[in-house]
Amino acid sequence: MNIPHETQFFGCLVDLDCYVQDLLLILEKTESIELGSNFDGLIYDCFPDVTRKSHIVTVLMVLEREFSAFCSQLKVATDQQLKWNDLKGSAIERFIKYCSTVCGVTAPENPSNLQDVKGLIELRNCIVHNDSCIEGFSKANVVKQLASRYDGIDVNEGYITLSHDACIRLTVVAFNFLESWYHSVLNHLTPSH
């Protein structure tokens, strides 16, 4: 039995929502372990907000995995020959170009969300590739712009710090971005009555 593409996309959206809720639960649990540990702040002293930065890196891993899965499913649904990774550019650029230009899906109308996701990607890049140091990071302005829009993303002595609430809000930003694309593709695939 063939499952309709619309049903598959809806199922993936539900799976993603469950996964995001699990990520947030893990953040809560690791925060409580870190705060309630018997190490007298050893983890915090040596690795301040390691849990939060790890969470952001994980959120971006999920986001990029979803880009790939979404485009692979869209390739089948629209009978495209071209794959999303045949395109040039960053993962987000290829995702948007593949969905809208190659497959004809109308892009969601929320440019601020797109800017936030781009900022989130650069935040992750700064954490991973520059040890959270904003100095000398090529996209420091993108990270600073994101920080200006969200409380809890701060730069202290040249290093990014994250609050627990900022991690939750940024997770929601990533999920809302993907959710808006799921709704766009469902509108694109669902025949008009």
What domain range includes position 18?
5-187
Can you tell me the mean pLDDT for 65-91? 93
Assigned domain for 193 exists? no
Total count of residues recorded for the chain: 193
Residue 95 located in a structural domain: yes
Answer yes or no: is 81 within a domain: yes
Given a cut of 60, whether residue 118 has pLDDT beyond it is yes
- 192 within domain boundaries: no
pLDDT tens digits, one per residue of 3-55: 878 888 888 788 888 888 888 888 888 777 655 555 545 555 566 578 899 99
The pTM is what?
0.86
**How many whole angstroms separate alpha carbon 11 and alpha carbon 68?**
16
Handedness of CA 52, 54, 57, 63 (dihedral sign): negative
Question: Is 61 contained in some domain?
Answer: yes
Domain count, the chain: 1
- The region of weakest confidence among 22-36, 112-126, 157-171 is 22-36
Q: Residue 127's CB: how many other CB atoms inside 10 A? A: 23
